[in-house]
C-alpha cells in the first residue's frame, strides 16, 4: 500500500467558527498552522483512507493546541480526495484521557476559554465532517476522549479498556451537545440518562453489548483492517449522498449547539473556576499521580 505522511497545509481555522465573537477571537489566535506536534497523519493513496494518530504522551490529554491540530487535519482532509478517516492512538494503553486537567487547574480565565472553545470546535468539526469516520479505540477513552469516539460514526475497540463520559463524577454537568452525541449512539434515553448521570464507565466487552462500540478487535492491526473494511464498504458513487444523509441526521444537534455555543462556554467558565471545583480538581490530579 502506498502510504504517505502528510504535512498540513498552512490554512487557518477561520471557517470552523461561526457564532460567538469570543469563539471567533480564539480561532484567530490558534488558527496558525504550525507543524503537527501531537499527531501523525498518513494517507493511503490507493484506498483514500487517512489515519490520524494521537500522540501526546502520556495520556493524549487534550489541550487547545492538540485539539486545534486534530480539527485542522480533519478540515484539510475534507478538502482532499480522502473518503475516510481512522482516529487512533500511538499509546498502547490510552486512546484519550479527555481534557488536560493539569491545564484546567489554577489556570487564567483566558486559557480556560481557549481550551473550551477548542473542544467545541473539535466536536463540531468531527461530528459534522462528511468524511467516513472510525475511532479505533486502542486504549482507555474517557470524558473528552469519549467525545472523540462517540462523535465518530463507527467504533472499534480493543479488549480490556474503559470507555465513558465521567463528567458528573468530576463535579460538572454534561453539556447538551454531548448528550445529543451520546443519544446518537445509544438512542435509548433511559440508558443514556442513566449512563451520563451516573458517569458510567464501560469495559470494552460491556460497551459492545450496550452498543456503545460496534466491534471488538483482538489487536490494533486487526482493528485497522476492520476500520478499512468499514470505510471501503461504502461504494464510491454513494459518497456524496451518504454525506448529505449523515449531515441530515446530525443537523438538529449541530444547530442546537450553534444556538447555545456562547452559553455553553459561559457555563464551563463559571463552573470550572468555582473554588470547590478547583479544589476538587487539585485532589483529583493528586489521585492520578498517586496511582503511578
Ligand X SMILES: CCCCCCCCCCCC/C=C/CC(=O)SCCNC(=O)CCNC(=O)[C@H](O)C(C)(C)COP(=O)(O)OP(=O)(O)OC[C@H]1O[C@@H](n2cnc3c(N)ncnc32)[C@H](O)[C@@H]1OP(=O)(O)O
Site for ligand X, rule CB under 6 A:
58-59, 61, 93-94, 97-102, 104, 140, 142-144, 147, 162, 166-167, 170-172, 174-175, 178, 268, 272, 277, 280-281, 284, 288-289, 291-292
Least CB distance from residue 83 to ligand X, whole Å?
Answer: 28
Grid cell listed for 203: 469495559
Grid cell listed for 98: 479527555
Question: In this complex, which beta carbon is closest to ligand X, that of residue 158 or of residue 281?
Answer: 281
| Contact present, 197 and 168 (Cβ < 8 Å) | yes
The region that residue 165 occupies, defined by phi over 0 for left and psi between -120 and 50 for alpha, beta otherwise, is beta
What angle is formed at CA 63 by the lines to CA 120 and CA 285, rounded to 5 degrees?
Answer: 115
Question: In this complex, which beta carbon is closest to ligand X, that of residue 32 or of residue 37?
Answer: 37
Give how far Cα 52 sits from Cα of 42, 93, 95, 211, 270, Å: 7, 17, 12, 24, 33
Give how far Cα 46 sits from Cα of 2, 154, 228, 232, Å: 7, 21, 12, 11
Pick the catalytic residue from 22, 85, 87, 99: 99
Least CB distance from residue 232 to ligand X, whole Å?
Answer: 31
Question: In this complex, which beta carbon is closest to ligand X, that of residue 20 or of residue 84?
Answer: 20
User: Beta-carbon neighbour count of residue 261 at 10 Å?
Assistant: 21
Least CB distance from residue 176 to ligand X, whole Å?
Answer: 10
- 144 counts as catalytic: yes
Question: In this complex, which beta carbon is closest to ligand X, that of residue 114 or of residue 144?
Answer: 144
Question: In this complex, which beta carbon is closest to ligand X, that of residue 137 or of residue 142?
Answer: 142
The residue whose Cβ lies closest to ligand X is 98
Pick the catalytic residue from 76, 148, 167, 208: 167
| Contact present, 207 and 122 (Cβ < 8 Å) | no
CA gap 77, 96 in Å, rounded: 21
Mention every residue, 6+ apart, whose C-beta is less than 8 A from residue 110: none
Least CB distance from residue 237 to ligand X, whole Å?
Answer: 37
Least CB distance from residue 143 to ligand X, whole Å?
Answer: 3
- 60 counts as catalytic: no
Point out the residues that are catalytic. 99, 144, 166-167
Amino acid at each position: 500500500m502506498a502510504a504517505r505522511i502528510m504535512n498540513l497545509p498552512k490554512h487557518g481555522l477561520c471557517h470552523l467558527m461561526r457564532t460567538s465573537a469570543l469563539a471567533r477571537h480564539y480561532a484567530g489566535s490558534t488558527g496558525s498552522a504550525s507543524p503537527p506536534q501531537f499527531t501523525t497523519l498518513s494517507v493511503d493513496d490507493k484506498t483514500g483512507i487517512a489515519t490520524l494518530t494521537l500522540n501526546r504522551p502520556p495520556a493524549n490529554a487534550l489541550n487547545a493546541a492538540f485539539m486545534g491540530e486534530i480539527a485542522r487535519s480533519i478540515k484539510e482532509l475534507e478538502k482532499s480526495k480522502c473518503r475516510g478517516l481512522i482516529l487512533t492512538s500511538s499509546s498502547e494503553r490510552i486512546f484519550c484521557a479527555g481534557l488536560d486537567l493539569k491545564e484546567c487547574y489554577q489556570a487564567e480565565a483566558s486559557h480556560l476559554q481557549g481550551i473550551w472553545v477548542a473542544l467545541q470546535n473539535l466536536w463540531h468539526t468531527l461530528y459534522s465532517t462528511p468524511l467516513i469516520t472510525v475511532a479505533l479505540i486502542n486504549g482507555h477513552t474517557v470524558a473528552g476522549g469519549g467525545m472523540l469516539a462517540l462523535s465518530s460514526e463507527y467504533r472499534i475497540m480493543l479488549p480490556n479498556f474503559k470507555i465513558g463520559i465521567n463528567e458528573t463524577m468530576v463535579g460538572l454537568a454534561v453539556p447538551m451537545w454531548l448528550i445529543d452525541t451520546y443519544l446518537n449512539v445509544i438512542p435509548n434515553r433511559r440508558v443514556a440518562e442513566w449512563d451520563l448521570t451516573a458517569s458510567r464507565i464501560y469495559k470494552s466487552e460491556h460497551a459492545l453489548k450496550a452498543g456503545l462500540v460496534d466491534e471488538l478487535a483482538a489487536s490494533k492491526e486487526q482493528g485497522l483492517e476492520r476500520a478499512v473494511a468499514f470505510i471501503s464498504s461504502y461504494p464510491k458513487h454513494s459518497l456524496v449522498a451518504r454525506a448529505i444523509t449523515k449531515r441530515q441526521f446530525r443537523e438538529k444537534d449541530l444547530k442546537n449547539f450553534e444556538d447555545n455555543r456562547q452559553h455553553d462556554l459561559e457555563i464551563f467558565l463559571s463552573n470550572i473556576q468555582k473554588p470547590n471545583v478547583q479544589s476538587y480538581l487539585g485532589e483529583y490530579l493528586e489521585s492520578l499521580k498517586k496511582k503511578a
